[in-house]
Structure 1
Amino acid sequence: MRGKLKFIIGILLAITVLTGCGRKTDKVTIVGSSAMQLLAEQAGNDYRLQHKGVNITVQGGGSGTGLSQVQERAVAIGTSDIFAEQKKGINAAQLQDHKIAVIGITPIANKEVGVKNITRTNLQKIFTGKITNWKQVGGHNLPITVINRSKGSGTRTSFESVILPGLVPIKAQEQDSNGAVKKIVASTPGAISYIAFPYAEGNAVQKLAIDGIAPTNTNVKQNKWKLWSYEHMYTQKHPQARTQAFINYMQGTHVQRDLIPKLGYISVHDMEYERDAQGNDKLVRKGGKQDVG
Structure 2
Amino acid sequence: MKKTGLLLSVTLLFALAGCSSPSKTPASSSSTAQTKIVAVGSTALQPLVEAAAQQYTDATPGADITVQGGGSGAGLSQVASGAVTVGNSDIFAQEKDGVDANALVDHQVAVVGIAPVVHPGVGVTNLTHQQLVDIFTGQVTNWQQVGGADQKIVVINRAQGSGTRATFESLALKTNKVMTAQEQDSSGTVMKMVKSTPGAISYLAFSAIQSGVNKLSLDGVAPTDANVTTNKWVVWAYEHMYTKGSPKAATAKFIHYIQSAKVQASLVKKMGYIPVTAMKVARTHDGQIEDVK
Residue of 173, 182, 194 corresponding to 1:173 = 182
Mapping 1:10-159, distance limit 5 Å: 19-159=28-168
CA distance in 1, matches of 2:103, 2:85: 14
| Offset, 1:227 | 0.5
1:29 counterpart SS class: strand
- 1:161-194 superposed Cα distances (whole Å, 9 cap, x missing partner): 0122245101101001110001011111101000
Offset at 1:18? 6.1
TM-score, length-scaled by structure 2 = 0.90
Rate the CA distance shift 1:51–1:211 in 2: closer, same or farther, 3 A. same
In structure 2, what residue type is equivalent to 1:244?
A
5+ long unaligned stretches in structure 2: 1-9
Per-residue CA deviations over 1:195-253 (Å, capped at 9, x if unaligned) read 1101113x211111111111111110111100100000100112211111112112112
* Closer/same/farther in 2, CA of residues 99 and 17 from structure 1, 3 Å limit: closer
Q: Which amino acid in the other structure matches residue 51 of structure 1?
A: T
Aligned to 1:212: 220
More helix by share: 2
**Are the counterparts in 2 of residues 29 and 77 from structure 1 also a CA contact under 8 Å?**
yes
Taking only the aligned residue pairs, the percentage that are identical comes to 49
1:277-288 aligned at under 5 Å gives the runs: 277-284=285-292
**The residue matched to 2:44 in structure 1 has which SS?**
helix
The residue number in structure 1 matching 2:196 is 187
User: Could you tell me how far 1:17 is from its partner in structure 2?
Assistant: 7.8
Question: In structure 1, what is the equivalent of residue 247 of structure 2?
Answer: 239
Q: Once superposed, what is the RMSD of the aligned Cα atoms?
A: 2.0
Task: Give the paired residue count.
Answer: 278
* Separation (CA, whole Å) in 2 of partners of 1:13 and 1:112: 70
Given residue 136 of structure 2, which amino acid in structure 1 is its aligned partner? F
Is residue 113–residue 205 contact of structure 2 (8 Å, CA) maintained in 1?
yes
Please tell me whether Structure 1 or Structure 2 has the larger radius of gyration of its CA atoms. Answer: 2
> Unpaired segments of 5 or more residues in structure 1?
286-293
